[in-house]
Amino acid sequence: MRRTARFSRTTFPGYRRPACRSVPCATYVGSSALLALAGPMGGAGAILALANVEPARCRRAFTGDAAAQRELADRHLAVRAGGPAALKAILAASRGTSAAVRVPAA
């Protein structure tokens, strides 16, 4: 059976549990699949690769627009599966930019 360490003051003296409620902090979503949930739940913003391709839809989805979230799904899955090369290919097809990547895609 695998045991996991429990972080507490008794096992690790000086350990303090983070308390975002008492300290000003911001939460940013990092997945375009969670935009429609993060915005309405009080997220501060999003840091997304997909925002380079679909900035307006990402912004709408962050405000809670479920239709915009569904419209992002196919591109989200393509970028998730293909990484930077897929993102560059989408940008090249939609905006006419170069599809070349610096590191060869594996």
Return the structure tokens found at 59.
């912004």
Quick one: how far is CA 90 from the chain centroid? 18
> Which has the closest alpha carbon to 62: 96, 31, 38?
38
pLDDT category of residue 9 using cuts at 50, 70 and 90:
very low
Distance CA 9, CA 3 (A): 18
Q: pTM for the full model?
A: 0.69
Count the Cβ atoms, other than its own, within 10 Å of residue 88: 21
76-105 pLDDT, tens per residue? Answer: 999 999 988 899 999 999 888 888 877 665
Distance CA 76, CA 70 (A): 10
